[in-house]
Amino acid sequence: MKCNNSFKNRLNNLFVLLIVINLLPNCRTARAQINPANNKIAVDVSTQPQNSGFGYNSCFALGANLGMSSVGLHLTWTALETSPNTFNFSVLDIANVYYPAYNMPIDLNIDPIETNRLEVPSDLITTPFSSPVLIHRFKTLLDSMKIHLPNPSSISSLVIGTESDVYMGANATLWQQYTTFYDTVSAYARTLWAGVKISSELGFDGIFSLNTFAQTLNANSDYIGVSYYPINSNFTVKPTSVIPTDFATLASLYPSKPICFYQYGYPSSASCNSSDTQQKQFITQTFQSWDTYAANIRLIDFTWLHDLDTAVLNQDALYYGISDTVFLEFLHTLGLRTWNGNGSDKPAFVELECQAKQRGYNSLPLNCTASVDDRMVLENKFSVYPNPATDFLSINFADNKTKTTIQLFNATGMLLKEEELTQTTQLIIIDLHPGLYFIHLKNHPEQTQKFVKQ
């Protein structure tokens, strides 16, 4: 949220409560600021537990039940063009039947670059991305894909490249060549699938540190594709408190284009200085921050459903050429569920289900305990309930010694209501428009410091 200067001045020496209220018109129903109509939850369901009986259908059902409304399908160029001018579209044929049966569109990733790997056919390895030869071959690939996946409504977005910034680094020539390729093939894809939304996934650090290159690449993107893992260079985790700042950074860099997190995860391994509890906190903080940036962030695809088994982990180590044990633990424990047997829910998965339920994405029979944001209490004297609002907002104040003035502001800093609370008071507020609101407690001068948040 951006504040004007006068509003910022009023924040000084005040205790500020952030209230997110979204009242749907004409029906007196309330939700958190994100909602299923505008904000999409996805889960990478491709990872499966140990028991082969708990297969893709079972994994898909877990995601669908918690409220996912699109699913990622990641394929490298070489997985489709297995050798020069030889193709295998069996995965797309399956996708063309499977996902429409569940009314589930796909975010289709086709990767000429996969993180630090070039994934173009072997005869094009040394060909620049801007070459008409390479561009023509990718257009041929798209032509064939259209035959096997013909319905535009089955594609939520077409994503070209995964974490391409890692491969290109600060090489200006590579960025220029890849941007030429991306702009040309994106325009061509739009002629094949009417209305398709195009994106190119970059890592969060690359989007930030290589901003000039990224802005140029994304000039013709419909969505801003992001891979987000808040970790340090040694693969240990950053505190979950970085999420609000990182969301704000993305929103400021791309204020007018929807942001899609096509990869979004946090490991639980102690080797990464994390834990199951901290992974759960990552989910909680994510939804709190997403509420604030609901207008900016269209999609979060949570990576991934299950922890990896050792065999897959070893394959990934060979693929990426990284044997660092902390990196492997990072990959190994990204799952929201364990790998053993049928898999079991980690606290993060239950929290994902609950956070989604609280925002109207599912009606699972869950016993979701209230989070700290559902009822905020100050020194056992002040409370706002419920938060997010249901059909009312109750502000309660109990102090027989202090006179306090309460002020309600909207997101632009406009004062909507001001009332003095004396001793025990309950103030009921209704008929607020959807949006973000701030409550200020302003004590009389002799009591100014009593409710200041330190």
pLDDT single digits (tens) 290-303? 999 999 999 999 99
pLDDT single digits (tens) 186-218? 999 999 999 999 999 999 999 999 999 999 999
pLDDT at residue 21 tops 80: no
* Long-range contacts at 314-319 (CB < 8 A, ≥ 24 apart): 319/117
Over residues 353-369, the mean pLDDT reads 89
Q: Are 398 and 378 in contact (CB under 8 A)?
A: no
For residues 395 and 153, the model is more confident at 153
pLDDT at residue 76 tops 80: yes
Closest CA to 286 of 200, 340, 377, 359: 359
pLDDT single digits (tens) 261-309? 999 999 999 999 999 999 999 999 999 999 999 999 999 999 999 999 9
Which domains, ranges and CATH numbers included, belong to the chain?
Answer: 5-20+370-451 (2.60.40), 33-358 (3.20.20.80)
Sign for the pseudo-dihedral over CA of 32, 37, 38, 42: positive
Instruction: Give the number of other Cβ atoms within 10 Å of residue 184's Cβ.
Output: 18
pTM, entire model: 0.76
Question: Which pLDDT band, with edges at 50, 70 and 90, does 399 fall under?
Answer: low
pLDDT at residue 376 tops 60: no
For residues 424 and 240, the model is more confident at 240
For residues 316 and 306, the model is more confident at 306
DSSP state letter for 363: -
- Supply 181's token pair: 């390729």
